[in-house]
Structure 1
């Protein structure tokens, strides 16, 4: 599903806006580094994931840039989400019932943390999320309730008001974003002063955290790009309309398809992110296939950054040091089979 007609005048579906100059309250280098220390010492066992040079792979990418892949598909629980969850759980009271909403990856990390800390909790999932994701979350001991995407917040509110549960937000939470920023600091440890960093974007928490960590560390010349599916372009629309927006989302990359852009991630992205680019579901599926054939199991949501580079969506990369964040690897065999049939 392509962007609405009013957005098609933008060259290559790419948005550049004037960045905010005023800092977002609570988002400082000190706060983010404190979260990084929390994530590194977390009992949840967050991994410092490897960075692999594209030159060391068989990926069929015809580009003149020096690209590297940050392999969050190898992370504990299969995605970057454990970073934010580790910081959230370290700063929130435990022993009380918790509820969240997630299409899969955050829910898996959330359920993993619930099990470790001995807490009860529920994950409210959109019906469009693969069934294998909810089965996996339930196997970790968390309750799952699948509902239409438009009803997610209503069900969460019911759990809070009627079931006396405490809500942990999977997108709009400063502790979560600060935890995700640990990925940005790791990138700088492995590649100081990258020219370009490309990050998959759903609600915007990862993009906001990585961008803030890199920019506040003094990498003023590093250009940071967010990548969204054409059918789930909430941050793209938010940049155009200059406010967080909601939309009916539809994409093979369910992890990048929340029905809204987070208000806090939007403000941080406005301050630190250069551009938002869009890729089609077909380009995402091709990226998953290319990565798989090269030996990397990456889910559609995690492959969007590779799809953007492979399809020329990131401008002016010739001769540049480019980091692609492959944000997750939670893809079932049923999904891989479907992709093979489609391609």
Structure 2
């Protein structure tokens, strides 16, 4: 596969886009996070792109692409495939500029994004299991319209580069930028702009493990299709990176890492609790990589000034609820306890009293008899508990063990060293009391 040249998008294109879109785009704020700087050990600055009118950075590229059309293309209108944010941005700016927009959205697109596209006046077509199938449908059925690729058109890449220019204006002495990666357009534009202006800056990309299309392209040397599995970072679930985006990004980007679902959920939770910000999974992927135990722990970012664009805040309320629960589980604050207790009156009450005495809260509880074969007078209790975290979990399991619940088990804890410590505490005898 012959790739475009890395200079298919140049810095002058980004500078022109910066001037072109200025009147229709929000200059979003960029602020240091005290709490997440403490947690990560870096000086973390968030670029708040969820402050754009449609809730994501996609407006930059969409407006630049629409303003670059000739008169005939504007009259006929445009078509795009998108899981939501590109569709929203294109629709909104199409309305402002009087350009008809058709968007083909996959069946997994969040309903909040689908409904907003319809409210903005787009012709919304739901088709395909993922964005790749949606794109194919758009090209086959709406071939007479100009197709605007949300991550690979040179005008889109140039538009996203304006985000990099803004970040350097706001934090000129930054050491690194950590960017979510889906189709590659965002990191291509940011890396091109920022490393042209500041060559010593490190540009690090982050993509979900369940759709690591950029990593696959790096390994193959060119964009290749990958399997798309459901992910909390739905906006990054692109089955194949764009050829233009990959050519540009490969030249400028320093490092690419992947994050799992637990890390994404925890990042959304940290932003909600610590920063009072609602950010979608894909938008929080950069922070997910920086959290303790994440893939960027091994890189030398401690005490460095790091920029992290929060790329979008469009998330269904129902999905947000599920993400919060997964984040609590990853944080050790939502656990599953399995323990046999007496099936006689008071057996469950005694367990509940022991749990309450340790300050844990029972969120859900049920019991099973049929699968406990060791004793006819025992019942297995399965409970979901809210706790204060891993230290509290260790104290809880030791306390239950000391009360005679020796076969109690904790499930559903994030696979970190803390989980191993909790499970080891189950096996080990209680620590002796210190001697006075």
Pick the TM interval, shorter chain: 0.7 to 0.9
Question: Mean alpha-carbon deviation: is it higher for 228-237 or for 118-127?
Answer: 118-127
> Which of 305, 328, 348 is the equivalent residue of 1:321?
305
What secondary structure sits across from 2:54 in the alignment?
Answer: helix
In 2: Cα distance, 1:117 partner to 1:46 partner = 13
Q: Which residue of 2 aligns with 1:15?
A: none
The structure showing larger relative contact order (alpha-carbon pairs under 8 Å, at least 6 residues apart) is 1
Q: Which residue of 2 aligns with 1:143?
A: 123
C-alpha contact (below 8 Å) 1:61/1:310 kept by paired residues: no
Pick aligned residue for 2:43 from 66, 70, 73: 66
Distance 1:240 1:199 in 2: 20
Aligned partners of 2:44 and 2:183: how far apart in 1? 25
| Whole-Å separation in 1 of the counterparts to 2:153 and 2:37 | 38
Aligned to 1:234: 213
Q: Which residue of 1 aligns with 2:272?
A: 292
Contact conserved, 2:32 with 2:46, CA < 8 A, in 1?
A: yes
Q: What are the within-5 Å matches in structure 2 for residues 2-151 of structure 1?
A: 24-41=6-23, 45-55=24-34, 58-59=35-36, 62-93=39-70, 94-148=74-128, 149=130, 150-151=132-133
Alignment of 1:186-335 (within 5 A): 186-217=166-197, 219-250=198-229, 251-294=231-274, 295-311=276-292, 312-314=294-296, 315-335=299-319
Decide whether the 8 Å contact of 1:159 with 1:165 is kept in 2: no
TM-score by length of 2: 0.69
Root-mean-square deviation over aligned CA pairs: 1.8
Q: How far did 1:120 drift?
A: 2.2
Q: Residues 260-308 of structure 1, C-alpha deviation per residue, up to 9 Å, x if partnerless?
A: 1111111111100001100011110111111111201111110000111
| CA distance in structure 2 between the aligned counterparts of 1:228 and 1:123, rounded to whole angstroms | 24
Determine which of 130, 136, 141 is the counterpart of 1:154: 136
Q: 1:336 & 1:286 partners in 2: Cα distance? A: 12
In structure 1, the residue matched to 2:322 is: 338
How far apart are residue 206 of structure 1 and its match?
0.6
Give per-residue Cα distances to partners, 1:179-200, cap 9 Å, x unaligned: 1100010111011142110001
Deviation at 1:340, TM superposition (A): 2.9
Q: Work out the CA distance in 1 between the residues paired with 2:242 and 2:27.
A: 26
**Any unmatched runs of 5+ in structure 2?**
329-436
1:175 corresponds in structure 2 to: 155
Listed one character per residue, the Cα deviations across residues 304-342 of structure 1 (whole Å, up to 9, x for unaligned) are 001111143221101211111111111122221222343
Runs of 4+ aligned structure 1 residues displaced above 6 Å come to: none
Q: Gaps (5+ residues) in structure 1?
A: 1-19
Q: Secondary structure at the match of 1:62?
A: helix
**Counterpart-to-counterpart distance in 2, 1:114 and 1:238:** 32
- 1:160 CA displacement: 3.0
How many positions carry a matched residue from both structures? 315
User: What is the distance in 2 between the residues matched to 1:210 and 1:65?
Assistant: 20
C-alpha distance in structure 1 between counterparts of 2:59 and 2:324, whole Å: 29
Cα drift, residue 248 of structure 1: 2.0
Distance in 2 separating the partners of 1:60 and 1:215: 24
Larger Rg: 2
